Chains A and B, each alone.
Chain A
Amino acid sequence: MAIVFDGTRESYVEGLSEFLGSGQEDTPEWVADLRREAISGFGELGFPTLSDEEWRFTNLEALRRGSFSIAEDGISDVSMKTVNSYGFSGLDCLRLVFVNGRFASSLSDAGYTREGIVVKALSEAIREDGDLVKDYLAKYADYEKDAFISLNTSYFEDGVFVYVPDQTVFEKPVHVLHVSTDEGRPLFINPRNLIVIGQSSDAKVIEHYVSLSQSVYFSNVVTEVVCGENANLEHYRLEFESQKAFNFSTLRVNQQKNSNIASHSILYGGAIVRNNVHPVLAGEGCNSDIYGLFMSEGRQHMDNFMRVEHASPHCDSRQFYNGVLDGRSKGVFHGRILVHEGAEKTDAKQTNRNLLLSDTAQIDTKPQLEIYNDDVKCTHGATIGQMDEEALFYLCSRGISMKTAKIIMLRAFTNQTLEHMSIDSVREALENTVMKWFEQRLGNGDGR
């Protein structure tokens, strides 16, 4: 029987014992303890409200009223052909597939466990590499302070575990495909990913969220990343959830000395979406490049919440977020840069550009600098505008149709973020998706 949450805080708190009793019996006790601890966090916090400063632009009333249940089995609904259709052309990668939060081994490549590298489902890793996982899981994403992290930590079923030991370059990108299906009732899905990169090691991970139906569900993702000394990680989060989904996600990165991360977030689907990106530059000399592109239409609501934490000296961070908004959609960019007292010579930069395609789309952009050191360089800039009429006229005066001119301009805008992706086939696939989206927006007319 399915476990159902009726939207109240109590239902989520009380549902855990049933959850632990059904299908989680072989989970080690330390994980069960973690879940119990985390749900008490949610019991204290509850869902945030508009009076919470960090949530003042995103109303969760519909989520609080919604009834959701844990998935039973959707794996049999998904074919290999469907899964392959979400692949990236010509990309030699390692693919792990999850359906409604559960690992689908029949649709996935065999896990990778050679030369100390471990890439497998987190559920398997907990059973087989428990000591390794235990050192990192839930050590960074704070379930006592964030309601969605609490819920995920309590109810996560699966996700990817990537472990790359010291001095190792893992050449193959890991493609983590999370598929949701329609089980006839709104689901509560909690993907959980853990990525640990050792000293002077390299990896690339593509988290990819897709939906086979336009159903309502509540997906709540947490990814923890530990980027070791002098390590490099390129991380992608491609959000193509159902247009009716509630989607919350947190990327929590811990960066050790001289490490580099490049994070790319693409928000495309979802009714109410909140994407938290929270790197902590914990060691000296780190570099964080955070890119994002969100595209909203209809009544979609997309909330980008950045929290870039400079905790050590000589670290650089770059946030570069572009939004394209159409219809009656709403966007939020909340860019917080927090510079700790000891983090001298911090160089932090934040740019958020927004393009409104309709008169009814809306964007709230809010930079927030919190600086406790005098010797830092922090800049931020935000723009909101419509397409440049002068540039459109210039292009048309050269013989290019208005529709093509608009597409050229939109491509130029979105490429400002996409061009930083190092995996060409992913970038090209996204460019195509973006193009199709634009063409839909512009309709069949001549573009005027």
Chain B
Amino acid sequence: MLEVKNLHVRVDDKEILKGMNITVAPGEVHSIMGPNGSGKSTLAQVLAGKEAYEVTEGEVTFQGKDLLDLEPEERACEGIFLAFQYPVEIPGVANTYLLREALNAKREYREEKPLKHVEFGKLARDKMKALGIGEDLLKRSVNAGFSGGEKKRNEIFQMQILEPTLAVLDETDSGLDIDALKIVANGVNSMRDSGRSFIVITHYQRLLNYIVPDFVHVMVDGKIVKSGGKELAQELEEKGYADF
């Protein structure tokens, strides 16, 4: 599904990714762990198409297409979703409005009919319950004045509505208490199936008790230095990153 080969990325003349490789097959959950500044978030932003990140070398293929050739919105319509580490506040734009626009953009891309208000409302309400999101949060401006937990839950809610093929979760667990963490994990687990993949970026092994990955990668200084099964996460929790 996703193949990242020898990816080099610069930001403001500084090389952040230095030959990153990862291959994700359909249905797999990969976790990327690593110390601060190792380039985990850069990878997430590059996959989503952030312009400020300059790819100097390497390639990224998503479902047979050259991902780097696509604009951010095209990537989203092709099935990529990024749950932001720091979701952006957009005063004046209602959450529900953003979601309906986004979903209908994706449907239009796939040459499907746009959803009517009523249909969208029903879809949203069904998903909201499981995430403990109230009606008021739908009506409020996107992320404006949301608590940290609300922002992260809102990202997962968007993911559930947009039903991506590949979801990249960038530290979605950071700053969450255990109850919120469980809600987020349940939101992810309920979407796991043989056709959908996840890249879960995290600092903490704790999340992986609830979202059990197929593979764990250790990222240090812009590349993957070690890969293994879920037991690798436990090892990292005990020993830290000092050995790398």
Contact = CB atoms under 8 A, between A and B. Distances in A.
Interface of A: 388, 390-391, 393-402, 404-405, 408-409, 411-413, 415-416, 446, 448
A265 to B, nearest CB: 20
Of the candidates A396, A405, A446, A448, the one having the most CB atoms from chain B within 10 angstroms of its own CB is A396
B102 A409 contact: no
B73 A394 contact: no
A164 B27 CA distance: 72
B91 A412 contact: yes
A397 to B, nearest CB: 5
Interface in B99-113: 99, 101-103, 105-106, 109
B101 A397 contact: no
12 contacts: A395-B98, A396-B49, A396-B76, A398-B76, A398-B98, A398-B99, A398-B158, A399-B102, A409-B90, A412-B141, A415-B92, A446-B71
Interface of B: 48-51, 71-73, 75-77, 81-82, 84, 87-93, 97-99, 101-103, 105-106, 109, 141-142, 158, 162
Nearest to B103: A399
B73 A413 contact: no
A411 to B, nearest CB: 8
Given A391-B90, A408-B93, A396 B101 contact: no
Contacts of A396: 49, 71-73, 76
Contacts of A397: 48-49, 72-73, 75-76, 81-82, 84
Contacts of B81: 397
B169 to A, nearest CB: 13
A445 to B, nearest CB: 12
Contacts of B82: 397
Contacts of A395: 90, 98, 102
Contacts of B76: 396-399
Contacts of A413: 92
- The 8 A-B residue pairs with the shortest CB-CB distance, nearest first, are A412-B92, A399-B76, A398-B102, A396-B72, A394-B88, A399-B105, A396-B73, A399-B106
Nearest to A419: B92
Contacts of A400: 73, 98, 101-102, 105
B92 A402 contact: no
A352 to B, nearest CB: 16
Nearest to B102: A398
Given A391-B90, A396-B49, A397-B84, 13 more contacts: A396-B73, A396-B76, A397-B72, A397-B82, A398-B102, A398-B105, A399-B103, A400-B98, A400-B102, A408-B93, A412-B92, A412-B93, A412-B141
A48 to B, nearest CB: 37
A388 to B, nearest CB: 8
Nearest to B91: A412
Given A398-B98, A398-B162, A416 B92 contact: yes
A121 to B, nearest CB: 40
A411 B94 CA distance: 11
